[in-house]
Structure 1
Amino acid sequence: MDNTQSFRFFNRGPSPAVRLVFFAALSLLLLFIDARYRYLESTRSALSVLISPVQRLAAWPGALWQHAGDFFITQSRQRSLIKENDDLQRQHQGDAAQLLQLQSMQLENRQLRNLVALPIRSEFTTQLAEIVYAERDVFRRRVLVNKGADTRVLIGQVVMDDTGIVGQITRVYPWLSEVTLITEKDHAVPVQVLRNGLRTIVFGAGDTSQLSLRYMPVNADIQNDDILATSGIDGIYPPGIPVARVIKIERDAAYPFARVTCLPIAGVDKHRHLLILSDLPKPPERPVEKSTATDIDKRAKTRRKN
């Protein structure tokens, strides 16, 4: 009987409460010893070295899964960024084209406002024209505008922009007209110097950025930056419209004439909209001198006798 009771006691062991108290006291004792005397640092280091491979092996599946997820996420983000970059580039190109169109429209609108605001004289009328074609021949300075015989455009009418003379109508079609620019080679425009009223003729040089004054005496009163305006003497160009500005004067005593280079004031190769001047007052016809008529009769009689 006693043997049976003794066997059952050692088989059960201490109660859970006793075990809890024992191990709690042991833990507190170890914590106190480790914090106070640091006796367990070497033991803890040795255990960490032994356990480290196990920890790495246990963490390897999670790290592999994380790397795989990061790889696919990175690939997805890279494709998304590439697509977004392509979309942004296309949008940038479209915005740049629209910006250029907007700037062009702003310049055109500004020029149209300047044309509308021009103080046009009451003795002649104007009509707005748009350049539709430009001469492809580099040696000819001519353009075609969208006004023709249907709008009563006539040969010889003056064409200008918001700053000065551009050219003259030289050919009329049913719906188009040809404008010869003042920079056309040997195209002549009677002008005068606004500073002193000196009359002269400016000629085109075949270059859109250059005009010239021919047969100007060396001692003529002309200076750099002088403004040349139409004199109105020929009856084609109305007086007082700016034509050119003097930019260079070459005088040589060995030659009787100075070489004067001018710059057109009007945008002969810049603007798209122009003004055509109509109903200009015509000067009276030039009278024929009697002596000239007598000389013509004498020459005719001489030819008959011969």
Structure 2
Amino acid sequence: MKTAPQFFRHGPGPFARLFVFILLSCLLIAEDLRFRYFPELRQTIGIVIFPLQKVAYLPTNIYDQIEELFASLYLLEENIKLRQQYLEDREQLLTLHTLQTENEHLRQLLGAVQYIETNTEAKAVLADILYTPRDPFNHKITLNKGHYHGVQLGQPVIDDKGIIGQITQLYPWSAEVTLLIDKNHSVPVQVLRNSLRSVVTGTGKKDELELRYLSVSTDIQQGDMLVTSGIGGVYPTGIPVAIVQRIERDPVDDFVQIISKPIAGVDRNRQVLVLSLVQPSPSNSIEMPEIESQKN
């Protein structure tokens, strides 16, 4: 006799299973508290399955490393872009600073032009410095204005502070200027404080001029400003030239040694003014924009 196939096998009920698991849990807890065999068993099992855990975590570790690699490459590329942007911005900032400085200097030159043209008959031509010598014994510079632009031999050259030198060589599109500090260059000057007249001469040294042939009793002091006297018709009257730096009086010598420092300088700017030659007159007395502050 054939029996029907049994498709569903009936085991213990849910409550029986729950009771068995609760009893098993209690036994395990009691064993762990009293006998402490299971910690050693857990350690043994952990040692056995550790290689399997490493293998199981291997894909995740590889994925994390690849993700970190791409993140590092992205950060490196971003760092390169930011550094390049920083250098570009830095270059623009330096260029802007240079343009601001040049603009300020041009405004000061414009003020000097207005003072000169208002107080004298002289006219001013703006010129750029093309070349400054590297030889410390060569005290000449070259400008980008020459005979073609109306420049003449002997014309004085100034900046916004005062006298720089004089045109000594002329070419069609350029001119050579001999600086004040050249040994062969002299400028008639007077002391602004007491109108004492003299001649200042270059010494061949940087930032050093000399007043010669003044007696030891001459009324001159350290800090006195020397301005052009206008004698000779080359330089307009009253343009700052130098400030007295050192006075050496020797009782044995009949003359006093006076060393002064030029106020203007070609190493501080790129643009200068070339003044036209004027004839001296009693009314030709001007003050550059910087004189009042320097007297104080």
Q: Bin the TM-score by the shorter chain.
A: 0.7 to 0.9
SS class of match (1:163):
coil
2:18 is the alignment partner of 1:21: yes
| Aligned positions of 1:74-223 closer than 5 A | 74-118=68-112, 119-122=115-118, 123-223=121-221
Check conservation: 1:212, 1:262, Cα contact below 8 A: yes
1:17 deviates by: 2.8
When normalised by structure 2's length, the TM-score is 0.80
1:189 deviates by: 0.4
Match of 1:55 in 2: 49
Read off the aligned partner of 1:108 and give its amino acid letter.
E
Structure 1 residue runs of 5 or longer lacking an equivalent are 1-11, 284-306
Instruction: Name the count of aligned residue pairs.
Output: 270
When normalised by structure 1's length, the TM-score is 0.78
How much identity, in percent, do the aligned residues show? 41
- Deviation track 1:275-298 (CA, whole Å, cap 9, x = no partner) reads 111252367xxxxxxxxxxxxxxx
Query: Aligned equivalents of 2:89 and 2:182: distance in 1?
Result: 39
Query: Aligned equivalents of 1:282 and 1:192: distance in 2?
Result: 14
Match of 1:44 in 2: 38
Distance 1:259 1:63, change over 3 A: farther
Distance 1:50 1:135, change over 3 A: closer
Distance 1:17 1:104, change over 3 A: closer
Check conservation: 1:248, 1:261, Cα contact below 8 A: yes
SS class of match (2:108):
helix
Name the larger-Rg structure.
Answer: 1
Check conservation: 2:146, 2:172, Cα contact below 8 A: yes
Distance 1:121 1:134, change over 3 A: same
Larger relative contact order (C-alpha < 8 A, sep ≥ 6)? 2
Following TM superposition, where does structure 1 have runs of at least 4 consecutive aligned residues deviating by more than 6 angstroms? none
- Deviation track 1:156-209 (CA, whole Å, cap 9, x = no partner) reads 111111110111111221111111111112310010111111111111112331
